[in-house]
Structure 1
Amino acid sequence: MSTEGTARGRERRRWAIDLRPLRVPAYRRLWVGNSIAMFGFQFTAVAVPVEIFTLTGDSFWVGLLGVAAFVPLLVFGLWGGAIADARDRRLVLLAGSVLLWVSVLGLLVQALLGVGSPLLLLGLVALSAVSFAVAGPARSALVPRLVPAELIPAATTLNFTTAMATAVLGPLAAGLILAVWRVDVALPVAYGVDALLLTALVGAALRLPAMPPEPDPDGHAPRAAGLRSIVDGMRYLAGAPVLLLSFGVDLIAMVFAFPRALFPEVATERFGGGAAVGWLYSSIALGSLLAGLVSGWIGRVRRQGLALVAAVVGWGLTVALAGLARQLWLVVALLVLAGAADLVSSVVRQSILLIHAPDRMRGRLQGVNTVVVAGGPRLGDLRAGTMAAGFGSGVAWVGGGLAAAVLAVLLAVTFPALLRHRAATGSSADRG
């Protein structure tokens, strides 16, 4: 091979998504199982709103699905993190995955029997949220036990990129099922696909190595998963400004600049409805997916705090510009850029969390992360809808994006610990 060809290959590797974590067999099994399961979950994520709207003919009931999912995440998220620090994380992941499987099988059975109960649907959605709150912190917290510290950003990027790929491709596949069959046939098929693909995650969890909790610095066994354990986690977080600020800047990004609740109104008023709303809903995930494919550089970022703030500012500004655009293609293009910035901020923030925190605290901090990640977009929906009702969708969209960018800068300047943070070289860092 020529020198020029070698140089081109080296440059491509610098930018292409880093696949080195897949060389670790245990991580590879988890990644494959989780990816397949996430793709299957998208079928249920589309089918449940379709079924409940078909039963009630009322979007209010569809909105209640968000409440049914968020409340269990809020209640059980912190507890799930405490469990992940007090028990074998492999077993916690397995238990949560089996519970999720039970909820999907419940959806399948009620669809096959034609039960037609909106309350039962809300209950099964709540059960699936409980399973995510239990398994989610353990699944994230075990990554540093599977791959070397230097590969944590790459592993995190792979996880986020896969999630975005399933968020783009899964709903399209679910929509195809709904287009081919009648609703009463398509719904059991969608739930059945999810139940079948979820077995991949259960199988991957079964094949993981045991991951018992590590003792605390004094050599004592970890505290039982109760209120005192959760309080210990909150106390640690309060003394770790870098982690606390990383959560704060993510909340700013989602609460002030998440425009999802405005998509139906904007699509109808500005672009005449039709396929426009689909493009708006898929554009952010598409941007994150594309950014993930050229994300090899993220793992080499040393000034992670600065990168996180810059990504959130970029997210807010591109969202604001999208709110000003009047051509659908331009709105979509800007939201794709916003999605790319969101991928960077998500990967950097998760990498800071996994590397900065000691292993004995990772589960509880991932529980906090679950609450923040789940709650931020829903609070953002509430903020956007309330502002749109009072001031119009344009002010809600553009003003929210600008507010996120300004507040992120103000937070970083007022509390500079985040801006000063650099990537750790060990498996964990000292408290900031």
Structure 2
Amino acid sequence: MTEDPAAPRPSHARRGSLQQGRSGTSPPGGQLPADPVEPGEVAEPAPVPRRRGWALDTSPLRNPGYRRLFWGLTSTMVGQQMTLVAVPVQVYAITRDSLLVGVTSMVSLVPLVVFGLLGGAIADAMDRRRLMLVTGVGSAVTSALLALQALLPGGGSLWLLWALVAAVSGFTAVNQPARSAVIPALVGPEGVAAANALAMTVRQVGVIVGPLVAGLLIGLGDLFVAYAVDAATLLVAVLLVRGLPPLPPGGNTGPLRLGAAVRGVGEGFTFLRTQPVLLMTFVVDVVAMLFAWPQAVFPELAADRYAGSANAYGWLFAGISIGALLMGLTSGWVSRVDRQGAVVLAAIVVWGVAIIGFGLAQSLWMAVFFLAVAGAGDMVSAVLRSSMLQTAAPDEMRGRMQGVFIVVVAGGPRLGDLRAGAVASAAGVGVAMVSGGVVVVVAMAVVALLVPSFRLFRASRAGA
């Protein structure tokens, strides 16, 4: 961003180490002014006082632009989680085949990966507000079609359901990089961590509340309402985004073409290879998820080790989200962290140690406690890694970096499920979890030693 909001944006694209800095200056965090913004310009944020204390930092909500983005996200989270629960239930009702339920997960993953990468490039090539509007409308229409297909005779069509699931995943994958990339333009670099903590806390509320509401509706045999609620909340989000000013990316934009988008993905990976700090934000998360994601062992634990405990599967499934939510509500300190790289490494070590404890826990409540600790560590890591990407990457690369982030976040746990399931089948759940946690802890120590630029990264120097 420029110091003069009326001046054209300089290009910050460059190759080299982040520690060498980038040209240009970044504004302090704050609010978008109420004055009209000319097309092609983004208004300069005004300073927002930093809060002290442990409570969730809500200061970004003073910003009218971010407030629209936040309430749009809030309105959609419960509905999206209801759809995530309703789809596998409907697939099983149609097919009575658990394998096809698993295939449905891959049906959603493939467009998420493909369009997550392309969506990041698109978000760096066109006005991000317009992109959020187009994809938001697409998501709302697709969710409405999901509701209508639930009324078809026989409970619906599997192939139609898969097509709509793929479409929802594709629209989401293009929307999310743009939504994340505009946060620094709305709140300024100093407000990014607090804005991310707010958004991720709301997501955890949705993860907990959405499945509960969906379960009640599904118990009443009403998949239509579950899908319709999602469509309605997505429409609310679109109406809120309409009130944002134009949000063009930094650098030059031109006509949007598929070939240019594909080349943009390649340029993003080329840029990423030259930036060890940004690259390591992805690497450390892949390591944490690949070696210590525990969800695949929940059914076995619920049926065996914790068979005498009521609703063991439900508590295990909720454990990580409970910890993440509690951390989100007490995350005021996270938004003030300057040495973000070091704290990310420490948070992932907490994740790894907690997973070791989970693997050894002989009671359900100890297992849930350790999962909650793991979730708290993951919440800190996710907030700070997102903030590092949004502040350390130049504006014209933020969409592509967020696209890679989505792919990593979506793919890591699925690879982790595969590893955990294979090791648990061969050597037992305890070995699968304890060995994975140990690998995570050791890997973070190795990263700290071999990539000092990541360990020494400071938010205050990101735009220097």
Same fold (TM over 0.5): yes
Say if 2:363 is the partner of 1:327. yes
Aligned to 2:162: 122
Q: How does 1:21-170 map to 2 (within 5 A)?
A: 21-114=60-153, 116-170=156-210
Distance of 2:305 and 2:133 partners within structure 1: 47
Q: Sequence identity, in percent?
A: 48
Q: Is the 2:390–2:398 Cα contact (8 Å) retained in structure 1? A: yes
Aligned mate of 2:351, from 312, 315, 325: 315
Deviation at 1:164, TM superposition (A): 0.6
Q: How does 1:220-235 map to 2 (within 5 A)?
A: 225-235=260-270
Aligned mate of 1:174, from 187, 210, 214: 214
Distance of 2:255 and 2:390 partners within structure 1: 19
Aligned to 1:9: none
Distance of 2:248 and 2:454 partners within structure 1: 31
Say if 2:302 is the partner of 1:267. yes
Distance of 1:405 and 1:126 partners within structure 2: 36
Show CA shifts across 1:189-247 (max 9, x none). 1111111121111112211111122226xxx8699642222221111111110000111
Deviation at 1:280, TM superposition (A): 0.5
Aligned to 1:410: 446
Letter in 2 for 1:297: W
Deviation at 1:383, TM superposition (A): 1.1
Aligned mate of 1:253, from 288, 299, 304: 288
Deviation at 1:293, TM superposition (A): 0.4
Deviation at 1:274, TM superposition (A): 5.1
Give 5+ residue unaligned stretches, structure 1: 1-11
Deviation at 1:416, TM superposition (A): 1.6
Show CA shifts across 1:4-35 (max 9, x none). xxxxxxxx951000000000011101100111
Aligned to 1:380: 416
Show CA shifts across 1:131-156 (max 9, x none). 11110100000111111211110001
Which moves more between the two structures, 327-336 or 118-127?
118-127
Distance of 1:392 and 1:116 partners within structure 2: 39
Show CA shifts across 1:320-369 (max 9, x none). 10110011111101111110001000001001000101111100111111
TM-score w.r.t. the length of structure 2 is 0.85
Aligned-residue CA RMSD (Å): 1.6
Distance of 1:190 and 1:344 partners within structure 2: 31
Q: Is the 1:214–1:221 Cα contact (8 Å) retained in structure 2? A: no
Distance of 1:256 and 1:237 partners within structure 2: 23
Q: Is the 1:215–1:222 Cα contact (8 Å) retained in structure 2? A: no
Distance of 1:343 and 1:421 partners within structure 2: 19
Q: Is the 1:355–1:424 Cα contact (8 Å) retained in structure 2? A: no
Deviation at 1:113, TM superposition (A): 2.0
Distance of 2:161 and 2:433 partners within structure 1: 32
Say if 2:218 is the partner of 1:213. no
Deviation at 1:41, TM superposition (A): 0.8
Distance of 1:354 and 1:148 partners within structure 2: 10
**More helix by proportion, 1 or 2?**
1
Q: Is the 2:140–2:232 Cα contact (8 Å) retained in structure 1? A: no
